[in-house]
């Protein structure tokens, strides 16, 4: 039982480190680039996929604790860490943020206006939106939008 718990905790810790570095790169190179007002903790917590996190936790826990092939474990962890830390480079972090958050050519409406443009970030209460007509970034309150 203790080996199973060790595998689970090791997998959770390694997955957390990988996840943390991915979101750090996205925060530095996408969120800060567009000056979106969101704290790292909210960004990190709101955009977690529990199924993906759990799958990586189980896989990495098994890899580290149960697999006796050290070379395979080391190569796999090295590749995963290199990929996750690559988001710290501007182009990679920006592209990852764009894939996760940007929605192009979206039409949003409120009681008075129709907005056509790109969603840069869909937050808890506010949508950061680039309006094609105004040619600038605007903040739209989600409660005022008509679905």
Average pLDDT over the chain, rounded to an integer: 95
pLDDT of residue 147 exceeding 80: no
Instruction: Report the candidate in 95, 41, 25, 145 with the shortest Cα–Cα distance to residue 129.
Output: 145
Identify the band that residue 43 occupies on the pLDDT scale cut at 50, 70 and 90.
very high
pLDDT tens by residue, 88-141: 999 999 999 999 999 999 999 998 999 999 999 999 999 999 999 999 999 999
Over residues 11-36, the mean pLDDT reads 97
Instruction: Report the candidate in 36, 26, 30, 32 with the shortest Cα–Cα distance to residue 87.
Output: 26
Cα torsion 45, 40, 115, 144: sign: positive
pTM: 0.91
pLDDT score for 81: 98
Instruction: Report the candidate in 89, 28, 22 with the shortest Cα–Cα distance to residue 56.
Output: 22
Every domain of the chain and the residues it spans: 2-100, 102-146
| Ordered DSSP codes for the chain | -HHHHHHHHHHHHHHHHHHHHHHHHHIIIIITTTT----HHHHHHHT--HHHHHHHHHHHHIIIII---HHHHHHHHHHHHHHHHGGGSHHHHHHHHHHHH-EEEEEEEESS-EEEEEEEEE-SSEEEEEETTTTEEEEEEGGGEE-
pLDDT score for 1: 72
pLDDT of residue 145 exceeding 90: yes
pLDDT score for 40: 92
pLDDT tens by residue, 47-83: 999 999 999 999 999 999 999 999 999 999 999 999 9
pLDDT tens by residue, 79-98: 999 999 999 999 999 999 99
Q: How far is the CA of 75 from the CAs of 39, 72, 99, 119, in angstroms?
A: 33, 5, 27, 38
pLDDT of residue 3 exceeding 90: yes
């Amino acid at each position: 039982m203790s080996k199973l718990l060790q595998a689970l905790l090791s997998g959770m810790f390694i997955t957390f480190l990988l996840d943390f570095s991915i979101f750090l790169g996205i925060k530095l190179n996408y969120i800060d680039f567009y000056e979106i007002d969101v704290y790292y903790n909210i960004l990190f917590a709101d955009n977690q996929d529990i199924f993906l996190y759990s799958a990586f936790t189980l896989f990495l826990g098994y890899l580290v604790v149960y697999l006796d092939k050290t070379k395979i474990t080391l190569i796999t962890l090295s590749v995963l860490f290199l990929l996750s830390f690559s988001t710290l480079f501007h182009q990679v972090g920006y592209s990852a943020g764009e894939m996760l958050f940007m929605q192009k050519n979206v039409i949003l409406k409120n009681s008075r206006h129709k907005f056509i443009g790109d969603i840069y970030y869909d937050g808890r209460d506010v949508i950061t939106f680039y309006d094609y007509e105004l040619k600038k970034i605007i903040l739209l309150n989600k409660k005022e939008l008509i679905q």
